[in-house]
């Protein structure tokens, strides 16, 4: 056993990169039950006197005892979302399975990158997790670390499921849950960022209603017409946006035909002039035109639902949040467009199989239950995220989510024809905090856009070069 001291950041970087040397030669594990002890080398974290001690140890995967087959599913969401329906469906369809559901949490001040870090820590610590929830942001990370395995052998051996998915799940969502041609997850709900706007305020202010093909100039004109900001508790902003996170920012980048990373997610694209143009446009909404608030400390939902902002960029889950506030004066439209083709950014949640599983067939059956019609319908009602299944998107329950409001939910499925997956490089947990730091400095006026993109490009490219070097790319 070898032991060495690492900072936590170095550990996470090592976890992403170390698999690269062997990735090309790694075949997808055969989907069959382990019949005997199999030695597996893993990395285990031990905390000691404020340092992270990483041990390389050899453990064994052993078959379960006769009787129930234990399957452990871990997700970022509260267990209550799956209880009791998931347990009941598994018990009814697969009585041989004993299901365990656990939550792998976000950090209080983090996003999907912290979920990825926390899941890495649990797996490296030796926890037996068989089915893993992975959104777009961390699916490549989990793949490179060999935490999850390809589903292709299971799909090809299961003709009924293959036909079901091909007929009912949108192809863009299947593609979004692949890594280099391999199907790494079963797409469940997804979200894309579209404009939620208050048509009552638009009418009161005499602003034209947003259209599918509206431009950045038309968007700005609407903001200027609507905004009434005087520094009082009655302020009304034209628009608010997240201001951090790849998922939120790509709604703007994609509609200016650019992105933070190159199309293969292997290099920084922050030196593209269109990136600077996009950031300058958003910064001016805050600092020059005064039609948008600084995103820091701004509660988007509360302010929108209390009529302090007329537009925001958000996903399907925001409808449920507004409904909880008994706010129904909202409509939906595509993001305004600057250049290139009309795009909507998507992030997809996926159910994945762990690489090391005692009972892979049982775990595969749990994945199928998680992704069936009943579970997806339950999910969208609770969470509001649009479903990956057309049958659920066409259900009256999904169409009625905004009721008694009149928002047209068909935009979500329609928008998949314009969908582009948000960039999620395998070192997303390292690059995301870098981008968020520079975004914050732009909105605060601490750095000019030119300074921020120059510095961010240098810092991001260094991380990308290190990743490629260790992956042998």
Query: What token pair was written down for 318?
Result: 């925001």
Predicted pLDDT at 107:
57
- Within this chain, do residues 207 and 296 fall inside the same structural domain, yes or no? yes
- Within this chain, do residues 313 and 367 fall inside the same structural domain, yes or no? no
- Within this chain, do residues 309 and 440 fall inside the same structural domain, yes or no? yes
CA distance 96 to 236: 58
Predicted pLDDT at 221:
98
CA distance 111 to 132: 17
- Within this chain, do residues 227 and 337 fall inside the same structural domain, yes or no? yes
- Within this chain, do residues 210 and 167 fall inside the same structural domain, yes or no? no
Q: Is residue 37 part of a domain?
A: no
- Within this chain, do residues 250 and 326 fall inside the same structural domain, yes or no? yes
- Within this chain, do residues 281 and 371 fall inside the same structural domain, yes or no? no
Which residue among 408, 434, 452 closes a domain? 408
Maximum separation of any 2 CA atoms in the chain, in Å? 73
- Within this chain, do residues 383 and 311 fall inside the same structural domain, yes or no? no
Query: What token pair was written down for 343?
Result: 């795009």
CA distance 258 to 252: 9
Predicted pLDDT at 226:
98
Q: Is residue 228 part of a domain?
A: yes
Structure letter (DSSP) for residue 339: S
Range of the domain at 339: 192-346+423-471
Q: Is residue 85 part of a domain?
A: yes
H/E stretch holding 86 reads helix 85-93
> Total domain count for the chain?
2
Tell which residue, 203, 216, 271, has the closest CA to residue 455: 271
Q: Please answer whether residues 76 and 133 qualify as being in contact, where contact means their C-beta atoms are separated by less than 8 angstroms.
A: yes
Helices H / strands E in the chain, number of each: 21, 15
CA distance 8 to 68: 38
CA distance 343 to 258: 11
Q: Is residue 373 part of a domain?
A: yes
Question: SS3 sequence, 174-231?
Answer: HHHCEECCEECCEEEEEEECEEEECHHHHHHHCCCCCCCCCEHHHHHHHHHHHCECCC
- Within this chain, do residues 85 and 175 fall inside the same structural domain, yes or no? yes
Predicted pLDDT at 113:
78
Instruction: Sort strands 311-314 and 344-354 into parallel, antiparallel or unpaired.
Output: unpaired
pLDDT tens over the chain, length 473 residues: 333 333 334 434 444 444 333 333 333 333 333 334 444 444 433 334 444 444 444 444 444 446 799 999 999 888 888 889 999 999 999 999 999 999 988 755 567 778 888 898 898 888 899 999 999 989 998 998 899 999 999 999 999 999 999 999 999 999 999 999 999 999 998 989 999 999 999 999 999 999 999 999 999 999 999 999 999 999 999 999 988 889 889 999 999 999 999 999 999 999 999 999 999 999 999 999 999 999 988 999 999 999 999 999 999 989 989 999 999 999 999 999 999 888 999 999 999 999 999 999 999 999 999 999 999 999 888 888 899 999 999 999 999 999 999 999 999 999 999 999 999 999 988 999 999 999 999 999 999 999 999 999 999 999 999 999 988 77
Backbone angles phi, psi at 304, to 5 degrees: -65, -45
CA distance 188 to 174: 10
pTM (global) more than 0.85: no
Backbone angles phi, psi at 451, to 5 degrees: -65, -45
Predicted pLDDT at 108:
54
**265 Rama sector, left if φ>0, alpha if ψ -120 to 50, beta otherwise:** left
- Within this chain, do residues 360 and 218 fall inside the same structural domain, yes or no? no
Q: Please answer whether residues 117 and 15 qualify as being in contact, where contact means their C-beta atoms are separated by less than 8 angstroms.
A: no
Q: Is residue 282 part of a domain?
A: yes
- Within this chain, do residues 238 and 120 fall inside the same structural domain, yes or no? no
CATH assignment at residue 435: 3.40.190.10
Query: What token pair was written down for 7?
Result: 């900072």
Q: Is residue 29 part of a domain?
A: no
Which residue among 384, 408, 432 closes a domain? 408
Q: Is residue 370 part of a domain?
A: yes
Q: Is residue 154 part of a domain?
A: yes
- Within this chain, do residues 338 and 367 fall inside the same structural domain, yes or no? no
Predicted pLDDT at 38:
41
H helices present in 227-306, as ranges: 246-253, 273-287, 300-305
Count Cα atoms within 13 angstroms, Cβ side, for 374: 12
Omega cis (within 30) before 404: yes
């Amino acid at each position: 056993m070898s032991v060495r001291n690492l900072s936590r950041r170095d550990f996470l970087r090592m976890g992403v990169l170390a698999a690269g040397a062997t990735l090309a030669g790694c075949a997808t594990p055969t989907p069959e039950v382990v019949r005997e002890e199999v030695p597996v080398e893993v990395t285990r974290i031990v905390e000691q006197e404020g340092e992270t001690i990483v041990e390389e140890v050899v453990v064994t995967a052993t078959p379960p005892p006769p009787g129930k087959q234990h399957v452990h599913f871990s997700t970022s969401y509260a267990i209550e979302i799956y209880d009791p329906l998931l347990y009941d469906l598994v018990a009814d369809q697969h009585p041989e399975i004993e299901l365990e559901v656990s939550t792998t949490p976000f950090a209080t001040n983090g996003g999907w990158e912290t979920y990825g870090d926390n899941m890495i820590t649990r797996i490296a610590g030796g926890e037996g997790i068989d089915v893993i929830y992975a959104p777009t942001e961390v699916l490549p990370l989990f793949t490179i670390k060999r935490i999850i395995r390809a589903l292709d052998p299971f799909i090809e051996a299961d003709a009924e499921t293959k036909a079901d998915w091909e007929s009912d799940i949108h192809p863009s969502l299947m593609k979004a849950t692949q890594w280099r041609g391999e199907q790494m997850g079963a797409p469940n709900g997804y979200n894309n960022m579209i404009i939620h706007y208050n048509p009552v305020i638009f009418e009161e202010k005499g602003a034209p209603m947003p259209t599918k093909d509206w431009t950045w100039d038309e968007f700005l004109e609407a903001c200027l017409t609507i905004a009434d900001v005087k520094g009082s508790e009655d302020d009304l902003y034209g628009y608010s946006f997240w201001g951090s996170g790849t998922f939120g920012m790509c709604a703007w980048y994609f509609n200016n035909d650019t992105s933070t990373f190159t199309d293969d997610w292997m290099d920084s694209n922050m030196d593209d002039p269109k990136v600077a143009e996009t950031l300058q446009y958003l910064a001016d909404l805050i600092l020059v035109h005064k039609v948008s608030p600084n995103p820091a400390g701004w509660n988007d939902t509360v302010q929108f639902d209390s009529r302090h902002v007329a537009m925001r960029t958000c996903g399907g889950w925001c409808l449920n949040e507004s409904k909880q506030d008994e706010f129904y004066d909202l409509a939906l439209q595509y993001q305004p467009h600057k250049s290139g083709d009309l795009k909507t950014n998507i992030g997809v949640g996926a159910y994945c199989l762990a690489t090391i599983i005692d009972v892979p067939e049982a775990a595969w059956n749990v994945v199928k239950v998680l992704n069936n019609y009943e579970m997806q319908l339950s999910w969208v009602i609770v969470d509001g995220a649009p479903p990956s299944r057309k049958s659920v998107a066409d259900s009256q329950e999904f169409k009625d989510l905004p009721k008694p409001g009149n928002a047209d939910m068909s935009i979500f499925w329609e928008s998949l024809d314009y969908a582009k997956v948000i960039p999620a490089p395998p070192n997303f947990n390292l690059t995301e905090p870098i981008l968020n730091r520079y975004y914050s400095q732009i909105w605060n006026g601490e750095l000019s856009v030119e300074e921020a993109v120059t510095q961010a490009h240098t810092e991001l490219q260094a991380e990308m070069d290190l990743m490629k070097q260790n992956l042998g790319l």
